[in-house]
């Protein structure tokens, strides 16, 4: 099975069903399938062949979804680009991936045009724009209007033969440390993972997901694929800057599911009136994309009850899901990432990949048909994480006697303070238990005495005041002295990427100790 079959099968079975909501309008499966055929045939006609890379630079929209499945129907490899972009980042990804075409919109022209001048391999620009003169001046590029393709393209299926071990997508990581890495995923990787998620979430054609996460982010992409797999519906709203609007959209469209990263839920809890809303149709809520402190998990579970809260764990390299904890087990296993999803092995291992006994600390490793093929153009980086037929996640953890895994921290997120190894995650969870704290990031900074010292960046809840001494006093009963931050900085916000993950590298680079 191929990823594009999710759309094709649902269009055959539910042609007139509302599949995608965007800006107060619905598009049916039949309409999406037809437009994606027209675009796929254009790609095929201009010579885009199986294995060629097609970049997509679009915010969540009808056109993004059509472009994604169209590129796959044409046998191409999709390269979804971060919409928070620069000329330099586009140039890097175009050259690294060897993209031959890009599907985009006028909004990004000021970044795209200069980048194209430095990327001679990119030959085709398909853009939602009327005046193409600026693109025609770029000698090596042929430009065409996307609406023109929708109007004049051929309706038939492009009929490009692919198999499930073909590469489907290159997903570039956020690049919070060094250059972004292109995670190379096959159709098999993503289809296998999609089916596993559908199984444990018990998704059906009656489900309707609220999507605020970007589709270029693998968690966001999984929301699209899982619901198109079962013939469900997807509601898109890019206005999370105004969380109250999102909550209203959820009510008005009758969504059955909602998904977010930790910062998503912190904003809803602390920056919106979510507690005053009632979501009669909401069946489940999922959280992944980083650790969420147990205190926050409990609050989310309470606020969205009776909807079930699924705490999940994964990585882009795993397409993305590796584990989840059953909602009924949350109260017994607070802080756990649960156990492996169907068709995945997940355990704590030593450096050679040997499984460790309960309560023994090691690295979390995985194997399954969802694990990436490797990093694009990076055999050395691939060899670091794919070893002994296992994927080494870089997360440190331990399992209990029931097989539930608890993450201790990232191997790169361990602070060596005064000879002690301290998990930044543990310190963050302690600080988040202080009622006045909205969010926090803990990093290690250079210190002349300790070698490395613990530094906490804290954002307070609206209208609340807290001093450094009050934080340290509260932590006395929660952490030993050597785990208490030496430096505490209060900030109005923390730097995040478009997926809502805190960019700790930027905080470390500030190097301000007061």
Task: Indicate if the pLDDT at residue 514 is higher than 70.
Answer: no
* Confidence tier at 192 by pLDDT (50, 70, 90): very high
Per residue, the 3-state secondary structure of 274-325, as one string, reads HHHCCCCCCCEEEECCCCCCHHHHHHHHHHHCCCEEEEEEECHHHCCEEEEE
Rounded Cα distance, 421 and 413, in Å: 10
Rounded Cα distance, 363 and 366, in Å: 10
Decide: 425 and 443 in contact? Cβ < 8 Å.
no
Token pair in block for residue 280: 């009669």
Domain 28-162 class in CATH: alpha beta
Calculate mean pLDDT across residues 273-300: 94
Given the DSSP bridges, would you call strands 374-375 and 182-186 parallel, antiparallel or unpaired? antiparallel
Output the pLDDT for position 175: 47
The tens digit of pLDDT for each residue in 342-361 reads 999 999 999 999 999 999 99
The tens digit of pLDDT for each residue in 121-179 reads 999 999 999 899 999 889 899 999 999 999 999 999 999 999 999 999 999 986 444 57
**Residue 492: CB atoms within 10 Å:** 6
Output the pLDDT for position 176: 42
* Confidence tier at 285 by pLDDT (50, 70, 90): very high
The tens digit of pLDDT for each residue in 106-122 reads 999 999 999 999 999 99
Output the pLDDT for position 446: 80
- Indicate the range of 108-112, 188-192, 470-474, 477-481 predicted with least confidence: 477-481
* CATH 3.30.300.30 domain position(s) in the chain: 418-510
* Confidence tier at 390 by pLDDT (50, 70, 90): very high
In sequence order, the β-bridge partners of residue 399 are 405
* Confidence tier at 444 by pLDDT (50, 70, 90): confident
- Sequence-ordered list of residues with C-beta below 8 angstroms from that of 103, at least 6 positions apart, any chain: 39, 54, 55, 56, 57, 58, 63, 67, 70, 71, 126, 127, 146
25 in helix, strand or coil?
strand
Rounded Cα distance, 72 and 78, in Å: 7
Output the pLDDT for position 58: 97
* Confidence tier at 419 by pLDDT (50, 70, 90): low
Output the pLDDT for position 177: 45
Mean pLDDT of the chain, nearest integer: 93
Output the pLDDT for position 498: 66
- Sequence-ordered list of residues with C-beta below 8 angstroms from that of 458, at least 6 positions apart, any chain: 431, 437, 439, 440, 466, 471, 488, 489, 490, 491
Given the DSSP bridges, would you call strands 405-410 and 336-340 parallel, antiparallel or unpaired? antiparallel
Give phi and psi for 120, each to the nearest 5: -65, -20
Task: Indicate if the pLDDT at residue 415 is higher than 90.
Answer: no
Half-sphere exposure of 111 (CA within 13 A, CB side): 20
Task: Indicate if the pLDDT at residue 314 is higher than 60.
Answer: yes
The tens digit of pLDDT for each residue in 462-475 reads 989 999 999 999 99
* Confidence tier at 242 by pLDDT (50, 70, 90): very high
* CATH 3.40.50.12780 domain position(s) in the chain: 187-410
**CATH for the 187-410 domain, from 1.20.1440.230, 3.40.50.12780, 3.40.50.10540, 3.10.450.30:** 3.40.50.12780
Rounded Cα distance, 234 and 367, in Å: 30
65 in helix, strand or coil?
helix
**CATH for the 418-510 domain, from 3.40.50.1370, 3.30.300.30, 3.30.565.10, 3.40.50.1440:** 3.30.300.30
* CATH 3.40.50.980 domain position(s) in the chain: 28-162
């Amino acid at each position: 099975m191929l990823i594009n079959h999710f759309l094709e099968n649902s269009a055959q079975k539910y042609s007139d069903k509302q599949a995608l909501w965007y800006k107060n309008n619905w598009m049916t499966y039949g309409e999406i399938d037809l437009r994606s055929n027209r675009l796929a045939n254009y790609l095929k006609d201009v010579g885009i062949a199986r294995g060629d890379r097609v970049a997509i630079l679009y915010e969540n929209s009808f056109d993004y979804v059509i472009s994604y499945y169209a590129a796959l129907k044409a046998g191409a490899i999709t390269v979804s680009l971060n919409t928070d972009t620069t000329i330099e980042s586009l140039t890097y990804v175009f050259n690294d991936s060897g993209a031959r075409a890009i599907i985009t919109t006028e909004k990004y022209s000021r970044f795209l045009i200069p980048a194209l001048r430095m990327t001679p391999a990119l030959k085709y620009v398909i853009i939602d724009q009327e005046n193409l003169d600026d693109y025609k001046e770029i000698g090596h590029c042929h430009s065409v209007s996307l609406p023109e393709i929708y109007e004049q393209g051929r309706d038939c299926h492009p009929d490009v033969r692919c198999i499930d071990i073909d590469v489907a997508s290159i997903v570039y990581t956020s690049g919070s440390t060094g250059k972004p890495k292109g995670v190379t995923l096959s159709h098999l990787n993503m289809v296998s993972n999609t089916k596993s998620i559908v199984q444990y979430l018990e998704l059906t054609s009656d489900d309707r997901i609220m999507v605020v996460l970007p589709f270029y982010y693998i968690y966001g992409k999984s929301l699209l694929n899982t619901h198109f797999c079962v013939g469900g519906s997807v509601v898109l709203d890019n206005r999370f800057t105004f969380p109250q609007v999102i909550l209203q959209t959820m009510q008005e469209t009758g969504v059955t599911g909602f998904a977010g990263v930790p910062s998503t839920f912190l904003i809803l809890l602390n920056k919106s009136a979510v507690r005053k809303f009632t979501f009669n149709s909401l069946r489940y809520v999922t959280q992944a994309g980083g650790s969420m402190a147990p205190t926050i998990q409990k609050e989310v579970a309470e606020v969205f009850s009776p909807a079930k809260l699924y705490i999940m764990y994964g990585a882009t390299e795993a397409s993305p899901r590796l584990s989840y904890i059953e909602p009924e087990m949350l109260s017994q296993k607070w802080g756990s990432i649960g156990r492996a999803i169907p068709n995945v092995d997940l355990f704590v291992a030593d450096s050679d990949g040997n499984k460790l006994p309960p309560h023994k600390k090691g690295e979390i490793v995985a194997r399954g048909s969802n694990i990436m093929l490797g990093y694009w153009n990076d055999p050395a980086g691939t060899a670091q994480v794919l070893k002994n037929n296992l994927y080494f996640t870089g997360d440190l953890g331990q399992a209990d006697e029931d097989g539930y895994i608890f993450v201790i921290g990232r191997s790169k997120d361990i602070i060596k303070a005064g000879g002690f190894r301290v998990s930044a995650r543990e310190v963050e969870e302690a600080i988040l238990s202080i009622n006045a704290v909205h969010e926090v990031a803990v990093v290690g900074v250079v210190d002349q005495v300790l070698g490395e010292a613990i530094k906490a960046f804290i954002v307070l809840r609206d209208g609340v005041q807290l001093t450094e001494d009050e934080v340290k006093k509260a932590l006395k009963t929660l952490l030993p002295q050597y785990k208490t931050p030496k430096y505490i900085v209060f900030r109005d916000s923390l730097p995040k990427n478009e997926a809502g993950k805190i960019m700790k590298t930027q905080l470390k680079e500030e190097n301000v100790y007061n």
